[in-house]
Structure 1
Amino acid sequence: MNQFTAPLSSDDTSKSGCTSAAQRAVMLAATTLQIEADALNHLRQRLQAEDAAAFAQAVDMLLSCNGRVVVSGIGKSGHIGRKIAATFASTGTPSFFVHPAEAAHGDLGMITPQDVFIAISYSGEAAELMSIVPIIKRLGVKMIAMTGKPQSSLAQIADAHLNLHVEKEACPLNLAPTASTTVTLALGDALAVAVLDARGFREEDFARSHPGGALGRRLLTHVKDVMRTGDAIPSVTPETKLTRALLEITKKGMAMTAVVNTENQIIGVFTDGDLRRMMETVQDFTQISIADVMRPNPRRIRPDQLAVEAVEIMETYRINQLLVADTDGHLVGALHIHDLTRAKVI
């Protein structure tokens, strides 16, 4: 009788059935996590000792691959394999998953001698996978095997073998792949991370593979992509009366206006905040020119800079608007923090 099947104590049975069931569920969950954590720790220890050379060999094979990384496995190994292939693909290593049964019925045509084949099978004897291995080898494709049995057929025929052995599964029956699939997934991640680091893969590279994600938007969106242009930019000249400038602020809806000279170069800015501060001391606005109350040399950003840099400036100086200028100081656009929010940069 193991820790999973042990009967509840008399103390447990004295409580409601619901409470006892909940306690048992929590106990099993904690035990499952501990078993899987132990399996990962043992994998780490092996990787830093007897398995270090095999891991380094696998990384070298992946780095020297002139084709794609093809991952294959059946059952739970296949599910993990799909994720490993996706991780490689999203981190700069062209990769795809092929189902071994489908491969045996035509999909082998997707595999070329320039590829590297990663075969995943904890037993190392999966019939569907082993049926295509001889053909893979005949093509001259380099093979990395991920198994829990170093003496298995798959491990012996591979060019590099990565050991997935676990002492026990987290399943109460020690049957369902649990700890072994956790270890497989983690080792796949370790391979992908080692390869991306060796390739010099950067945040910008990751963003290009994820243009629809938050990181992609942050690293690929430039100020020019989201700034307001043309008639949407609030601007007045220095001699403009304050009352007229307030109409421009209201019309353009940015809670500010730029002040530009005759060559459209930025010389100042006036915001709603400036107006509120003025109202404490000024009674008559009709005779005031914008040049008398504007703030000179306002903060600005170039259109070719990243939108996240605009966010950083706004947050640092606690402002909600930012003027966009070219290298000669000409006004070419304007940004409101709401523009960045709509673009999902924030």
Structure 2
Amino acid sequence: MIAKINGDRALVLAREVLDIEADAVRALRHQLDEGFIEAIEFILQCRGRVVVSGIGKSGHIARKLAATLASTGTPAFFVHPAEASHGDLGMVTSDDVFIALSNSGESEELIAILPLIKRLGAKLIALTGRPASSLAQLADVHLNAGVAKEACPLNLAPTASTTAALALGDALAVAVLDARGFGADDFARSHPGGALGRRLLTYVRDVMRTGDELPQVTPDASLRDALFQLTAKRMGMTAVVDNEQRVLGIFTDGDLRRVLERSGDFRDLPIHSVMTPHPRAIGPDHLAVEAVELMERHRINQMLVTDEAGKLIGALNMHDLFSKKVI
């Protein structure tokens, strides 16, 4: 049997779900207490690793929390509570912090291993929706992720409760990240394979054109010479440098359009008379994303790369930055 969709009802229900879950997350602000600070301290003082556990929907949230902690400077991993009872508990040591997630706080698989966690001497942080639950009472610290109701019309399927647990876990991970002084470079080192890693780890020196690929002329060169460099090197510009490679100006395809608006034969004009003096430049040790930001802010498609003495050592083109996936 194929169910019929009532579009109006579906939209009303969807908006109600979003409202209920948003309210559940906002309510967490008022449920935070000193226990949250204590949980941060436990994690910062941890000499081992953070072990995160949960079952069912809470298990999915626990996996996400472990992954977020691991990617933000805190060694962490997920262990399934049922598997822990059959040998995986050997992964946990007295130097670890154990974070247990359960909305009810009564998940049998978790409750079964808690005495062993406590006996090991690992710190136990519980994230539940019931402060009076067995898990909350056994924990060294309890984080209250309780919600007024689920977003499910039957008030049964974990919806608002899992959203609240996810948000509270993120709040904990971000607070720990900040306390560690974990920065953008640290984040990039743990994400080298993704687009974010490329943006944060790619420097100007890695993408700039150099050597024979670098278009340049001296100030006494003719416009004809500059046009040859502009077209042959396909960067949409040529640098104008003196005999010691110090940058004097730049001549771009935009400058060329302005020259073409003049009357007469302009091919033998000296390039210094039509170049743009004092062009914007960047050093090779800046991040490539900084160059992108400057180019976008000043609405330019090319940028020269200079050393501390103002000598030309490279050039950037927006198309190159696209191809290197910096943008």
- Indicate the residue corresponding to 2:88 in structure 1: 107
Distance 1:280 1:25, change over 3 A: closer
* TM-score (normalizing by structure 1): 0.86
- Indicate the residue corresponding to 1:3 in structure 2: none
Distance 1:196 1:231 in 2: 45
Distance 2:8 2:71 in 1: 41
Distance 1:108 1:277, change over 3 A: same
Runs of 4+ that moved beyond 6 A: none
Distance 1:295 1:109, change over 3 A: same
Task: For residue 281 of structure 1, give the secondary structure of its aligned residue in structure 2.
Answer: coil
- Indicate the residue corresponding to 2:31 in structure 1: 46
Question: Within 5 Å, which residues of 2 pair with 1:1-346?
Answer: 21-47=6-32, 52-346=33-327
Distance 1:294 1:25, change over 3 A: closer
| Unaligned stretches of 5+ residues in structure 1 | 1-16
Q: Deviations over 1:303-324 (max 9, x none)?
A: 1112222223323332211111
Superposed displacement of residue 209, structure 1: 2.8
Q: Which moved more, 1:223-232 or 1:177-186?
A: 177-186
Q: Deviations over 1:91-143 (max 9, x none)?
A: 22221111112222332232222110001112222222222222222221100
Q: Which moved more, 1:300-309 or 1:279-288?
A: 279-288
| Unaligned stretches of 5+ residues in structure 2 | none
Superposed displacement of residue 213, structure 1: 4.2
Superposed displacement of residue 290, structure 1: 2.5
Distance 1:269 1:42 in 2: 57
Distance 1:242 1:40, change over 3 A: closer
Distance 1:167 1:296 in 2: 65
Task: For residue 29 of structure 2, give the secondary structure of its aligned residue in structure 1.
Answer: helix
Distance 1:98 1:229 in 2: 51
Q: Deviations over 1:31-87 (max 9, x none)?
A: 33333334334433222xxxx122222122112112221100011110011111122
Distance 1:285 1:112, change over 3 A: same
Distance 2:20 2:245 in 1: 68
RMSD (CA atoms): 2.2
Superposed displacement of residue 27, structure 1: 3.0
Which letter maps to 1:339? Answer: D
Distance 2:117 2:90 in 1: 11
Which letter maps to 2:16? Answer: T
Distance 1:42 1:288 in 2: 71
Superposed displacement of residue 255, structure 1: 1.5
Which letter maps to 1:26? Answer: L
Which letter maps to 2:35? Answer: A
Q: Deviations over 1:199-242 (max 9, x none)?
A: 22333333333334444333322111111111110112233332
| Number of matched pairs | 325
Q: Deviations over 1:233-262 (max 9, x none)?
A: 011223333222211211100121112222
Identity of aligned residues (%): 66
Q: Which moved more, 1:173-182 or 1:163-172?
A: 163-172
Pair member with larger Rg: 1
Distance 1:33 1:309, change over 3 A: closer
